[in-house]
């Protein structure tokens, strides 16, 4: 009987861990999902505010992704998304956060990173990306929330899409 209780307890703990992971991780890319981003980024942003440290948020939207799915199929689109995030994992620091928040939309949270640093990260990530993308950057101020930063980065991203079309890299994408 004691062995059965221990076994059930171990299985339950493993299931809880699996459920927690499923609730915070995008199953396709392994990046955080929107829920995971909200939890992790809120903690990171609070630490940045508390210590007066810089923090940048980058909003990324893949250019022409619908065309990939329409012409090559959804399996190819899925591989492209997974390859993109795998490439980011190789280049981002351990403390950086990457999240897939929509079909082809991603948010990066870069602690201890100012506008120039975020610009350099975007250029580096775009260099070997498997597809072109447009990015908008917002740098945290003392009153910013994750939502306000994502909104500002998103506005900058779409301003860039309207003014220049598909752009790889951050030139002119930084909003402080």
Half-sphere exposure of 172 (CA within 13 A, CB side): 12
Please list the residues that pair with 101 across neighbouring strands. Answer: none
Distance (Å, whole) CA 22 – CA 72: 28
Half-sphere exposure of 23 (CA within 13 A, CB side): 9
Is there a catalytic annotation at residue 104?
yes
Catalytic pick among 26, 96, 104, 154:
104
Q: Which CA distances in Å does 153 have to 61, 74, 96, 102?
A: 11, 28, 16, 15
Q: Which residue in 57, 166, 26 sits closest to 121, CA to CA?
A: 57
Active site residues: 104
């Amino acid at each position: 009987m004691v062995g059965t209780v221990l076994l059930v307890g171990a299985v339950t703990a493993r299931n809880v861990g699996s459920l927690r992971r499923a609730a915070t991780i995008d199953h396709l890319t392994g990046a955080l999902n929107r829920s995971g981003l909200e939890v992790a980024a809120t903690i990171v942003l609070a630490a940045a505010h508390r210590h007066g440290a810089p923090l940048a948020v980058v909003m990324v939207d893949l250019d022409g992704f619908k065309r990939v799915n329409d012409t090559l199929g959804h399996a190819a689109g899925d591989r492209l998304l997974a390859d993109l995030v795998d490439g980011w994992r190789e280049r981002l620091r351990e403390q950086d956060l990457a999240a897939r928040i929509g079909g082809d939309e991603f948010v990066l949270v870069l602690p201890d990173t100012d506008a120039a640093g975020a610009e350099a990260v975007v250029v580096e990530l775009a260099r070997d990306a498997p597809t072109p993308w447009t990015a908008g950057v917002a740098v945290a101020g003392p009153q910013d929330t994750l939502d306000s930063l994502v909104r500002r980065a998103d506005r900058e991203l779409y301003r860039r899409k309207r003014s220049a079309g598909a752009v790889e890299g951050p030139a002119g994408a930084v909003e402080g």
